[in-house]
Amino acid sequence: MEFKKCERCGCFFTSNDNVCYNCLTKDKFEMSKFKNFVEENNISNITSLNDLSIQTGISSKNLNRFLGYDDFNELANQINLK
Ligand SMILES: [Zn+2]
């Protein structure tokens, strides 16, 4: 266990996760929302992170962070942003 700074809210916490306990719930919710969105929509129409943010209702900062995770590796390649 390391002492870490939450990537979402900036608070300090002790865990092996990237975000604190409070944010973990929010992250999980948004990640599944994001995955559902990708499954249900034609993502080739998405041209920017901002566009994706507007359509999913998830902040571009969080989307950018999700796309950097291994879980979203394949998805990040599909979306081909930036
Ligand atoms: Zn947090």
Q: How far is the CA of 27 from the centre of ligand 1 (A)?
A: 9
Amino acid 80: pLDDT: 66
Amino acid 22: pLDDT: 95
pLDDT band, very low/low/confident/very high, at 16 (cuts 50, 70, 90) = confident
Helix (H, G, I), strand (E, B) or coil at 20: coil
Q: What beta strand segments (E) does the chain contain?
A: 2-5, 12-15
Q: How far is the CA of 15 from the centre of ligand 1 (A)?
A: 11
Q: How far is the CA of 44 from the centre of ligand 1 (A)?
A: 32
Give the number of C-alpha atoms closer than 13 A to the C-alpha of residue 60, restricted to the C-beta side.
10
Q: How far is the CA of 36 from the centre of ligand 1 (A)?
A: 23
Residue-wise pLDDT for 50-74, tens only, equals 999 999 999 999 999 999 999 898 8
Q: Which residue has the tokens 């979402």?
A: 8
Residue-wise pLDDT for 18-29, tens only, equals 999 999 999 999
The stretch 30-53 carries a mean pLDDT of: 92
CA distance 50 to 11: 26
Q: How far is the CA of 33 from the centre of ligand 1 (A)?
A: 19
Supply the Cα-derived Rg of the chain in whole angstroms: 13
Which tokens sit at 28?
A: 């999980």
CA distance 63 to 49: 8
